[in-house]
Amino acid sequence: MNVTQLLLIKTFTKTESINQELTTIADRNMKYLNQTEATNIDIELFNDYKFSVDQLMELAGQSVAHAIAKSFPVEKLSSKKLLVCCGPGNNGGDGLVAARHLSLMGYTPVIYYPKMVDKELYRNLVHQCKSMDIEMVQSVDLEQTKDFGLIVDALFGFSFKPPVRPDFLNIMDVMRRTDVPIASIDIPSGWDVENGPPEDGIKPALLISLTAPKLCANQFNGKFHYLGGRFVPPSLQEKYKLNLPTYPGVDTCVQI
């Protein structure tokens, strides 16, 4: 190795160190949202900034897929099969979008969607997944999870209020008991958006916060925490003093 190569390596290492330090400083100042703030930001994105639900869902779901690929590369998983558990709301829609993108990244997603929403948006998302030959199942038990390298938790978002509805009691129990790592979208399902996990809450290895982290993320102690959804207008960031970290390059997600 010559002197020029050594200098380049040292410069790159120093730059990486500075970037990590700046990200750490940004993380300390980043705002964690309560439920009302999270709801109001969504309302403003729809009403004031004229984003559509499906537009934000596509951006969020794509960033989720990218965060999963960074945290759990397909070649390092015990199986390239992913179990994507989708709920009836927007969080479930994010999961459907993420499954479609993950299928293009070399993974084999299998969608568990016990309560499909009879609205055009969700029918279209399901149609898109089926058109890409993504398998959909109506039941999952603990033994079956051994076939998967990762479980994607897209059941409940920040509007969740306990108790868990009967349709989802089984899958929640499965996620509590499985040894397969879990990637939760925005909120670990069953957690209180502000107060964090219940006593028997799931313990995801990866949390992908969307728009900005929610207060419960302060109690997340898994391996990876990403911020996804590179779509928040600067003026909205300033209004709510979000202090979001800088996304690297052209990435749609950033580790926090």
Q: What single string gives the DSSP state of each residue in 164-210?
A: PPGGGHHHHHHHHH--S-EEEESS-TTSBTTTB--TT----SEEEEE
Spell 75-107 as b/e; 16+ CB within 10 A means b: eebeebebbbbbbbbbbbbbbbbbbbbbbeeeb
**Does 197 appear as a known binding residue?**
no
**Does 162 appear as a known binding residue?**
yes
**Does 161 appear as a known binding residue?**
yes
How many CB atoms neighbour CB 216 within 10 A?
Answer: 25
**Does 34 appear as a known binding residue?**
no
Q: Give CA–CA dist 44/91, Å, rounded.
A: 18
**Does 48 appear as a known binding residue?**
no
**Does 181 appear as a known binding residue?**
no
Chain-centre distance for alpha carbon 166: 24
**Does 93 appear as a known binding residue?**
yes
- Helix or strand run (H / E) with residue 69: helix 53-71
**Does 118 appear as a known binding residue?**
no
- Helix or strand run (H / E) with residue 81: strand 81-86
Q: Give CA–CA dist 88/156, Å, rounded.
A: 8
**Does 78 appear as a known binding residue?**
no
**Does 173 appear as a known binding residue?**
no
Q: Give CA–CA dist 196/168, Å, rounded.
A: 19
**Does 92 appear as a known binding residue?**
yes
Instruction: Indicate the annotated binding residues.
Output: 90-94, 153, 157-163, 186, 189
Instruction: Indicate the annotated binding residues for (6S)-NADPHX.
Output: 90-94, 157-163, 186
Instruction: Indicate the annotated binding residues for K(+).
Output: 91, 153, 189
